[in-house]
Structure 1
């Protein structure tokens, strides 16, 4: 009798837990990027980023091959500096020749549709509307941060990329290649097309630890789900990952300025430079999920963005936190 009662209680508990997980169809969160997170005392190149996310899982009823479908909306800002946030010598005189990567800011709103399949492949489509230039408020944000936390006063923003409206589209494709206990490897790729950013990249993702399938994992931004089609490998994810990518850059408005703009006209102090066509990136990180929360902490290292950059690499840290609810 006690054994039957115990089985009944376990069944009820499992049913409640499964239902609770199935109802976590929406998540909100924030990502913050900064080169100071790596404690190297640097303030250069891609120096700061902030992103706000909203994701909601859509129904996949009637499609056995589609395990998960997630609609997302986001708002973000990226800030770029040259070799320092101040291009002044000890006498306070600005030097344009110190601008080895342009001052630039990209501000945008965007939407994503993430289609995740039973064979553990996914196609994520994205569209962004944004602006590069003074109206993206990079100078104001950097001035406020440096003043609030007692850092040096930035200078040189008069050389920043001019205002240019952006329409950018992208597609990301991932697919599982192999898996054994505690280890798997996936193919990763993306393509960008727009008047702000055009290019492509490919590489792989290696995961070590307790991870879930790619249709319900923090790795593919698919922890939100709807319905009972998904049986995760683990209740909670906790794994380390390594993601190297080879990136081809056809155009980058934060380096070259607006695609349709006329640069260096009389009176303009805008400084634009030549982009490097190929960039190699490495990302190392750790992911952890609970029934409600998702966390990602990563370190990213890029080879130089421009031919003029005095440093052969630059790096930053990224911290992301998400909260799921019904």
Structure 2
């Protein structure tokens, strides 16, 4: 099987040769093309437990509107500009101590997942609202390579070698559907924006519902003008340089979490009981972003409340790059 990360160059070449995308005069497809990458690790806060490392790679391209998954993803109300994308996501999780080769009863299980996300964004700038829907397909378990990724990184950096991955969540399919709605609540044009969000996910990996707020302050373009990566060159009414701080607070009601409870269709060596999973979880994020024309860089820190009985709060850092082309 071809490694998933090799699909993006294929899609880039596919976009240059593909036939015209399906026409929809009520929901036009944006010509914008973006490639983004994020890397997250709790090493930024000198810890090495719970959520320990994650990566995302995403492509937005008008040619992806030809994928059959578009029929499963609503595009929002009429007048919305459509963005179609494909993403890959990897995340890894460990207990408090990775030096213990035995099962740490009452602690977080070892777990890792890798999945592809087919997503569609319906952005209605005139109404300051956005609907994002996604279909996630992949797997959780040893096939995601969590043991190999963490072991290789620790050997490279001289860190302690993890010894408990043999007890990780077993291989199971990831199939999920999620949706997020964003709406502007308040704004000082070009200087500050307050956004409200609502989201929900149903699937074999995560099932939850949540809501929150997001604040952006600085020299910035309107959030709903595009996906944050307008093509290089001047654009009427938009700053070529952006520099701003942002902060978000979200609350979730958790129905199922496979990284704690294991897959739905098999048994793992060690999982947490449903009664031990915290059903209400808070997450806060704050950071800075710098952008010029079609390139942007963002650095952020995330804090999350305890996710299971006896668990701790946790923090990690994230770096992200986005390039329009």
TM-score band, normalised by shorter chain: 0.7 to 0.9
- 2:14 corresponds to which residue? none
Match of 1:186 among 182, 195, 200: 195
Distance in 1, matches of 2:174 and 2:159, equals 32
Equivalent pairs, count: 281
Paired position in structure 2 for 1:144: 152
Aligned to 1:292: 294
Structure 1 pair 124/105, CA: closer, same or farther in 2 (3 Å)? same
> CA distance change for structure 1 residues 294 and 24 in 2, over 3 Å: closer, same or farther?
farther
Distance in 2, matches of 1:127 and 1:64, equals 19
Verify: 1:79 aligned to 2:85, yes or no.
no
What secondary structure sits across from 1:147 in the alignment? helix
1:291: Cα distance to partner?
1.1
CA contact (8 A) 2:120 2:133 kept: yes
Write the distance in 2 (CA, Å) between the matches of 1:153 and 1:46: 17
Structure 2 residue corresponding to 1:100, chosen from 90, 100, 107:
107
SS of the aligned residue for 2:150 comes to helix
Q: Comparing both chains, which one has the higher relative contact order based on Cα–Cα distances under 8 Å and sequence gaps of 6 or more?
A: 1
Give the Cα–Cα distance (whole angstroms) in 1 for the partners of residues 207 and 129 of structure 2: 24
Whole-Å separation in 1 of the counterparts to 2:109 and 2:293? 43
Q: Is the 8 A contact 1:241 1:284 kept in 2?
A: yes
Unaligned runs of 5+ in 1: 1-22, 89-93, 264-268
**What SS does structure 2 have at the residue aligned with 1:96?**
coil
Deviations 1:68-109 (A, max 9, x none): 3211111121000111333x2xxxxx3423661110001111
RMSD, aligned CA? 2.6
1:235 corresponds to 2:249? no
Q: Which residue of 1 aligns with 2:207?
A: 198
Which structure 2 residue ranges, 5 or more long, are not aligned? 1-29, 66-75
Separation in 1, partners of 2:94, 2:203 = 23
Question: Residues 1-326 of structure 1 correspond to what in structure 2 (within 5 A)?
Answer: 25-37=32-44, 40-57=45-62, 66=79, 68-86=81-99, 88=100, 94-97=101-104, 100-117=107-124, 118-181=126-189, 182-217=191-226, 221-224=227-230, 231-262=236-267, 269-273=269-273, 274-309=276-311, 311=312, 313-325=313-325
In structure 2, distance between residues paired with 1:156 and 1:77: 19
Whole-Å separation in 2 of the counterparts to 1:123 and 1:242 = 20
Distance in 2 (alpha carbons) for counterparts of 1:53 and 1:41 = 28
Q: Is the 8 A contact 1:236 1:289 kept in 2?
A: yes
Q: Is the 8 A contact 2:230 2:294 kept in 1?
A: no
